[in-house]
Amino acid sequence: MKDVAPLSAGWTLRHESAALPAEVPGCVHTDLLAAGVIPDPFLSRNEKDVEWVGRADWQYDTVLPAGDSDHERTDLVFDGLDTAATVMVGGEVVGRTRNMHRGYRFDVSGMTGGAGPAVPLSVLFTSAYTEADAVRAQVGERPNSYPEPFQYIRKMACSFGWDWGPTLVTAGIWKPVRLEHWSKARLSDVRPLVTVDEGTGRVGIRVAVERTSSGAGRPLTAELRVRAAGHPGGSSADTGSSRSDAAPADVRSSVSFDGTQATVTAEVADAALWWPRGYGEQPLYECELVLRDASGAELDSWSRRIGFRTVALDTSADEHGTGFTLVVNGERIFARGVNWIPDDVFPSRITPERYRTRLTQATEAGVDLIRVWGGGIYESDVFYDICDELGLMVWQDFLFACAAYPEEQPLRSEVEAEARENVTRLMPHASLVLWNGNNENLWGFRDWQWEEELAGDSWGEGYYLGLLPRVVAETDPTRPYTAGSPWSGSWDHHPNDPAHGTSHSWEVWNRTDYTDYLEQTPRFAAEFGWQAPPAYATLRRALPGEELAADSPGMLHHQKAADGNGKLERGLARHFAVPVDFDRWHYLTQVNQARAIATGIEHWRAQWPVCAGTVVWQLNDCWPVTSWSAIDGDGRRKPLFHELRRVYADRLLTVQTRNGGPAVVAVNQSARPWHTEVRVRRMAADGKVLAEAALELSAPARAVGHTVVPAALLPDAGSAEEFLVADADGSRALHFPVRDLAFAWPVPDFDLELVRHEGRVDVVVTARTLLRDLLLQADRLAPEAVADRGLVTLLPGESVTVEVRGWDAAGDGAVRAVREALFAVEPA
């Protein structure tokens, strides 16, 4: 049997004449931080002071464990090196690397010392800038939306800075490293092709082995076992699909072969289907493969969890253009998505617990699809394991974003190797539903003057339309591929044509106003977003000692978008009088973000099935920053997060224009029809009901229905004092004929009561006036405090209970503290 020895201990990082203790997996920045050599680059403007780290070369050292191995071969295996490195064993170079997104295996047989003195292992990293500059000199300059040279090196692009991220160019052994001792043969590639046909699940495993010379041509057996692994996610929502009562499967099969490749297949009768969350459960199967020699001795093994489901992407043409609809197990799905960026600009710091927290937060926001964006990384296996369990569909970008990428060597081979390795690594995961060629590069070529600048040079098209779809088809033909986001399906249409395929809606944030979302009917809104600052406690931690202002030095440093604050201010000024007071500014920019995204999602969900998905830019952050995220860099939820819970719920009530007038629309993504009576009230700003009626409203299962609001119930167009309230089954939709700026908001007035419970405090707010977008910023009470809800609008007389955890409300000042942490829309 193969013998595996992890090499995570005893590493040092050489800095000047010192050998600092080093974490493996880890990176230079986090080691220097732990040793006190650099300040925390996430705080204040320290990022600038540590710029030198990314420009320097670095050396990691350890020694190989003493002791002999009886095996024929010893391999030194790195799951990931960041990025340009020379690996030395006993002073001899055993390999060089230039791709963060690949693993590396070096044959070091006979070099590891045996009974002799300990053998040194060193990894020497050349600055990513040096490597990128060298490749650029070789292949020639290409256009890029950002100033840094990330398209000349296969390394996480956003490490070089992004419009939400700091420039912290890492180096290091960012994934595990180990010695593998083996004899005769080992599994070099295991590719499970999982399909389901008329209820029968099929696992066809393509096995590739590497053999030693003594093992060449000898008979081998690959034994496969597939067993039900239960429902690790444990969700059992009312989803309309039934849990399979079939006896738990335990299927075995095997194949004997004497070459280097074989296929072993197993069938699971009555396979329990894996569903996206909200559509059914997430039953998983344990899939184990054992490689044996002719004597039956085990040489190597592999195991992963799989799930049975079919997935297709329907891109057929119709009377509206070209669709883009995910179809899982035959069910057409409106994707309630978010874009994912690396959760830390130092990805080696992201623990499994942190992945679980973040992805669980996504599910709490009602999300069912995560797009792993192309300027980041192919995430760790843990990420996809958790998505499998939670029923989160994953759309995975290949790692190309916002630049023209050269197709010459040495990049081309790296891209191909990286693609094959990662498609193979991720294909066991039921959650993975789509591969995407790139982020915005087909669009950039057409619209951002690249075409002219390139004057015929390669720019990546050969990857997106040639190499990558071929790699997916050859490696994992069970999954759909799309060439880009956005992409209209061919050059026949503009790459970002909303009527064809995926589109990104950025004009709205960059230049116009979020009400413009209402003019758009994308077939699939793969990116759209609105900025807001992070939570108050996050800012307080990130900007110690700074007097906070919208344009204070630290605030501007932690805002990376071009004219970001200008866009925030102008976007706010279209709806509210921009306050001078920081706390009000902070609250209102967060309100505006939530309003913007809700406007888009409500409108687009109401257009199902013409529009088949919304993927919000962006779920998370990689450091404390003002950005488009719903969860900030310290993991705190912005009001947008809570708003997503409302607009991504299975049942959403919204007011949209139908036949030229306001209608109440029921978006029903649940498995059961939604027949209800909606109470519609025409109200005055002072809370008086001017007219009222009960209307029938119904939407079939997984469909949309509407009822037109009769004229007598409509607030006067342009009225600053009237609005519409629609209530059904605990959902509420509001419609104001004018913008907040113009509306006659009363001065907010309410009663406040605190009720202390074991482990939580209930904040009960009872409205005396109309309270628009009431928000309790719990982190102002205590940095750890968390409220269970975000923006709430109350009519006079109504009350809400906000549950606060992480704060004990001790002392006399508790009520006053809550009053100071409560915000609502005020008269202009």
How far lies 375's CA from each of 181, 221, 308, 423, in Å?
Answer: 36, 41, 30, 17
Both tokens of 477, joined, read 């033909």
CB of 310 to ligand BMA, least distance (A): 29
- Choosing from 440, 461, 643, 722, the catalytic residue is 440
- Residue 769 near residue 796, CB atoms below 8 Å: yes
In this complex, which beta carbon is closest to ligand BMA, that of residue 436 or of residue 670?
Answer: 436
- Residue 488 near residue 523, CB atoms below 8 Å: no
Active site residue 452: no
In this complex, which beta carbon is closest to ligand BMA, that of residue 441 or of residue 777?
Answer: 441
CA distance 48 to 557: 10
CB of 495 to ligand BMA, least distance (A): 13
Both tokens of 91, joined, read 């002073």
Q: What is the dihedral angle through the alpha carbons of 254, 257, 259, 264, rounded to the nearest 10 degrees?
A: -20
In this complex, which beta carbon is closest to ligand BMA, that of residue 370 or of residue 685?
Answer: 370
In this complex, which beta carbon is closest to ligand BMA, that of residue 144 or of residue 538?
Answer: 144
Three-state SS letters, 286-335:
EEEEEEEECCCCEEEEEEEEECECCEEEECCEECCEECCEEEECCEEECE
In this complex, which beta carbon is closest to ligand BMA, that of residue 284 or of residue 338?
Answer: 338
CB of 128 to ligand BMA, least distance (A): 19
In this complex, which beta carbon is closest to ligand BMA, that of residue 125 or of residue 517?
Answer: 517
Three-state SS letters, 553-569:
HHHHHCECCCCHHHHHH
- Residue 762 near residue 691, CB atoms below 8 Å: no
Q: Which residues are CB-contacts of 389 (< 8 A; sequence separation ≥ 6)?
A: 232, 233, 282, 284
Helix (H, G, I), strand (E, B) or coil at 539: helix
CB of 349 to ligand BMA, least distance (A): 21
**Residue numbers of the site for ligand BMA (CB under 6 A)?**
162-164, 375, 401-402, 439-440, 527, 617
In this complex, which beta carbon is closest to ligand BMA, that of residue 344 or of residue 440?
Answer: 440
Q: Which residues are CB-contacts of 764 (< 8 A; sequence separation ≥ 6)?
A: 752, 753, 754, 755, 799, 800, 801, 802
DSSP string, 676-730: EEEEEEEEETTS-EEEEEEEEEEE-TTEEEEEEPPGGGSPPTT-SSEEEEEEETT
Both tokens of 625, joined, read 């920053």
**Residue 3: which H helix or E strand, with range?**
strand 3-6
In this complex, which beta carbon is closest to ligand BMA, that of residue 100 or of residue 561?
Answer: 561
For 237, counting Cβ atoms within 10 Å of its Cβ (0-12 exposed, 13-18 middle, 19+ buried), the class is middle
Both tokens of 813, joined, read 């000042």
CA distance 10 to 21: 8
CB of 163 to ligand BMA, least distance (A): 5
In this complex, which beta carbon is closest to ligand BMA, that of residue 74 or of residue 629?
Answer: 629
Both tokens of 247, joined, read 């006896």
Helix (H, G, I), strand (E, B) or coil at 780: helix
CA distance 563 to 556: 10
CB of 575 to ligand BMA, least distance (A): 21
Both tokens of 147, joined, read 């100033």
CB of 459 to ligand BMA, least distance (A): 17
In this complex, which beta carbon is closest to ligand BMA, that of residue 169 or of residue 401?
Answer: 401
- Residue 257 near residue 219, CB atoms below 8 Å: yes
Q: What is the dihedral angle through the alpha carbons of 40, 43, 48, 54, rounded to the nearest 10 degrees?
A: 40
CB of 509 to ligand BMA, least distance (A): 8
CB of 736 to ligand BMA, least distance (A): 29
CA distance 229 to 282: 10
CA distance 460 to 439: 11
In this complex, which beta carbon is closest to ligand BMA, that of residue 60 or of residue 162?
Answer: 162
- Residue 591 near residue 534, CB atoms below 8 Å: no
Sequence letter at residue 826: E
Cis peptide before 166 (omega within 30 of 0): no
CB of 344 to ligand BMA, least distance (A): 16
Residues with catalytic roles: 440
